[in-house]
Amino acid sequence: MSRFNRRVEHLPPSGIRRFFDLVIDAKDIISLGVGEPDFVTPWHVREKVFYSLEQGRTSYTSNWGILELRQETAAYLNNRFGARFDKDEILITVGVSEGVDLALRTILNEGDEVILFEPTYVCYRPLTELAGGVVVPVSTPSLKMTADAIQQALTPKTKAILLSYPSNPTGYTIDKAEIKKIAQIARSRDLWIISDEIYAELTYEGEHFSISAIPDVKDRVILLNGFSKAFAMTGWRLGYIAASRDFLQQAVKIHQYAALCAPIMAQYGALESLRYGLGEMQEMKKSYWRRRNYMHEALNAIGLSVNKPEGAFYVFPSIEATGKTAEQFAIELLQQEKVAVVPGDVFGRGGEGHVRMCYATDFNLLKEAVKRMDRYVRSLKK
C-alpha cells in the first residue's frame, strides 16, 4: 500500500517552480518570470484594514463571506460586465485558486472530461486530475481559443469547458463571436462552463465580454474572479465564485469544511477596493497598457515575433527563429544575460517554441531586459 494518495504522487511539481528553483541563487537578475503586479495595494485599502483591525474585526465570517462584500461584488459584476448576479449567487473564496478547485470538485465525477485550451495557466490540469476528471487539451496555431477547436474535442464524457481569458500566458482573449458560439455548444450539449476571468479588467483591446452576461447560459456558467491582479492584492488571497444557487449550495459544503471562510481582513480590503478603488485600478491598467505596447514593438524589433497581447500582463513571443527549445532559450538567457523568463512548454500543449514574459516590471528594467535579449539573440547568429 502506498503511503500517499496515488493521484498526488503522480502530480508533477509546477513547471514554473521547477525552473525557478534552478535560478533561485542567481544574483542581479531581471525577472520577467513571476506573474504579479509591481504595484502594492493602494494605501486607502491598507488603511481601511488597519482600521478594521483596530475595531477588533478578527473573527470568522459567514462561510459565504460578509454580506456587504457579496452585495458589492454582485453590483460590480452587473455594472462592469452586464453579468446579472444576485448576492446569493456569490461565494467569497480564498483567491481564484480555491475557486478553481471548488468548481472542479463540485461538478466532476470519476472519468468526466474537461475541455481545456492550452497553453494555459498551470493549476487547471492538476486540479482536474485531483478531482477525478480527465483533461482533454485543445490548441490552435493562433494560440487563440475557438469554438471549432472545442467542437472537435467533444465526446459523450465531456462534462465541462474551462475558459480562461484574457489568457495567462499569452495575453490573448477570446473574441465575442467565439464566446457566443461556445455558449451555444454548452447549451446544446448540456455542459458546464468554468470561466476564469481574473484578468477581465486588464483588457486593452475593446471591452471584456463575460460569458456569464449571456442570459440563456448564465445558469451553467461558474464565473471565477478575484482581487489579485487588477486590484494589486495577490497576497490578500481573495476571490469569488459567481454561479447559480444550486451549484453554490453544493460548493459551499466543500468550502465550509476545507477553508471555513476567506480571511476577514482581506474581505474588508476587497470591499474597500470595490467601493473606492476603481479609479486607481484604471491608473494601474494604463501603466500596463503602455508597457504592453512597448514590449510588443520591442520584441518584434529584435526578432522575437508576437501578436499584440489583448489583456493581462504577459507577452508570449515565438523563439523558434533562434533554433533553441524554450527551455534552452530560458536557461541560456538567464546564464548569459541574467534575464529570467518562463519556458512556454510548462503551460501545456502549443506552448513549446515560446517563452512567457511578465511585463508588470519597472519600465527601465524592461528596456534593459530587451537590450540584453537582443544581445543574446544576436549572439546566436554569429
Tell me whether residue 270 or residue 377 sits nearer to ligand PLP (CB atom). 270
For ligand PLP, the nearest residue by Cβ is 95
Residue 125 beta carbon to ligand PLP: minimum distance, rounded to whole angstroms: 13
Q: Which residue in 184, 196, 199 sits closest to 222, CA to CA?
A: 196
Residue 110 beta carbon to ligand PLP: minimum distance, rounded to whole angstroms: 25
Kindly report the length of the chain: 382
Tell me whether residue 13 or residue 56 sits nearer to ligand PLP (CB atom). 13
Cβ neighbors of 140 (< 8 A, separation 6 or more) are 117, 146, 149, 350
Pairwise CA distance, residues 206 & 229, whole Å: 19
Tell me whether residue 52 or residue 225 sits nearer to ligand PLP (CB atom). 225
For residue 252, the one-letter residue type is V
End-to-end CA distance of the chain: 56
Q: Is residue 26 a contact partner of residue 334, using CB atoms and an 8 Å limit?
A: yes
Residue 216 beta carbon to ligand PLP: minimum distance, rounded to whole angstroms: 26
Pairwise CA distance, residues 295 & 317, whole Å: 10
Tell me whether residue 198 or residue 315 sits nearer to ligand PLP (CB atom). 198
Residue 53 beta carbon to ligand PLP: minimum distance, rounded to whole angstroms: 22
Handedness of CA 203, 237, 362, 76 (dihedral sign): positive
Q: Is residue 310 a contact partner of residue 203, using CB atoms and an 8 Å limit?
A: yes
Residue 302 beta carbon to ligand PLP: minimum distance, rounded to whole angstroms: 26
Tell me whether residue 164 or residue 322 sits nearer to ligand PLP (CB atom). 164
Tell me whether residue 343 or residue 370 sits nearer to ligand PLP (CB atom). 343
Residue 168 beta carbon to ligand PLP: minimum distance, rounded to whole angstroms: 4
CA 312 to each of CA 47, 172, 201: distance values in angstroms, whole numbers, following the listed order: 27, 8, 8
Tell me whether residue 117 or residue 268 sits nearer to ligand PLP (CB atom). 117
Question: What are the residues binding ligand PLP (CB under 6 A)?
Answer: 35, 95-97, 121, 164, 168, 196, 198, 226, 228, 234, 239
Cβ neighbors of 56 (< 8 A, separation 6 or more) are none
Tell me whether residue 226 or residue 309 sits nearer to ligand PLP (CB atom). 226
Q: Quick one: three-class SS letters along 76-104? A: HHHHHHCCCCCHHHEEEECHHHHHHHHHH
What does the DSSP assignment read for 271-336? HHHHHH-HHHHHHHHHHHHHHHHHHHHHHHHTT---PPP-BTTEE--B-GGGT--HHHHHHHHHHH
Residue 239 beta carbon to ligand PLP: minimum distance, rounded to whole angstroms: 4
Residue 35 beta carbon to ligand PLP: minimum distance, rounded to whole angstroms: 4
Residue 95 beta carbon to ligand PLP: minimum distance, rounded to whole angstroms: 3
The 3-state DSSP class for residue 190 equals coil
Q: Is residue 263 a contact partner of residue 35, using CB atoms and an 8 Å limit?
A: no
Tell me whether residue 95 or residue 344 sits nearer to ligand PLP (CB atom). 95
Pairwise CA distance, residues 93 & 226, whole Å: 9
Residue 172 beta carbon to ligand PLP: minimum distance, rounded to whole angstroms: 12
Q: What phi and psi values does residue 117 have, to the nearest 5 degrees?
A: -80, 130
Cell of 89: 449567487
Tell me whether residue 239 or residue 353 sits nearer to ligand PLP (CB atom). 239
